A and B are shown apart, each in its own frame.
Chain A
Amino acid sequence: SSELTQDPAVSVALGQTVRITCQGDSLRMYYATWYQQKPGQAPILVIYGKNNRPSGIPDRFSASDSGNTASLVITGAQAEDEADYYCNSRDKSGEQRVFGGGTKVTVL
């Protein structure tokens, strides 16, 4: 079973804001990284650290964290943001990695 919990699915109207959450005890000690995966493609990193975007990731993607919950926020969602999003972090030991179960984002 996953030590990081995500809602299975969320939907957002085009141009609106959506928050995707990831819960787990290890998030009190470690940041989450966030990945976007479109059908038939490898995941890509969209957020790392406190709130950092790799080159090429639009600034409508941001992150925040509070206690045992990390959040990925898409402000002004676009049709191309429709995808599965996964959080990842370390486990409570800090020695291994664990993924959340993924959240399917639908842009209406």
Chain B
Amino acid sequence: QVQLQESGPGLVKPSEILSLTCNVSGGSVSSERNYWSWIRQPPGKALEWIGYISNTGSTSYNPSHKSRVTMSLDTSKNQFSLKLSTVTVADTAMYFCARDRFGDYLDGFDIWGQGTMVTVSS
């Protein structure tokens, strides 16, 4: 059974880079046809898709954040990562990683991490 666990700093200063990692256990980030998404949720607000990275390293980002987002895959550690640059208080949110069955019969997020809260504050 695949499980996901987010990790990273809980506090980031404005204008700095937010860096999060999602560790995958019980499966491989390189498994064919798997995509890996990042999703966030500001306090009291709706879910927002940030982007995904495929098992081959191709990416797709939400146009709202495209200029600030970088996602990467580390197959040796079985992890994938998110970097969000030039953060502001508006980036304060719970950040979730999820397995994304993009393009297959499920075409959605079937496995989620528990989430990690990131606060942007000086």
- What residues of chain A have their CB less than 8 Å away from a CB belonging to chain B? 2, 30-31, 33, 35, 37, 42-45, 48-49, 52, 54, 86, 88, 90, 95-102
Contact = CB atoms under 8 A, between A and B. Distances in A.
Interface residues of B, number: 25
Contacts of A31: 107
Interface of B: 37, 39, 46-49, 51-52, 60-63, 96, 100, 102, 105-110, 112-115
Given A33-B106, A45-B110, A97-B102, 15 more contacts: A35-B47, A42-B96, A44-B112, A48-B106, A48-B108, A49-B106, A52-B106, A88-B47, A96-B51, A97-B49, A97-B100, A99-B39, A99-B47, A99-B48, A99-B49
Contacts of A100: 46
Contacts of B96: 42-43
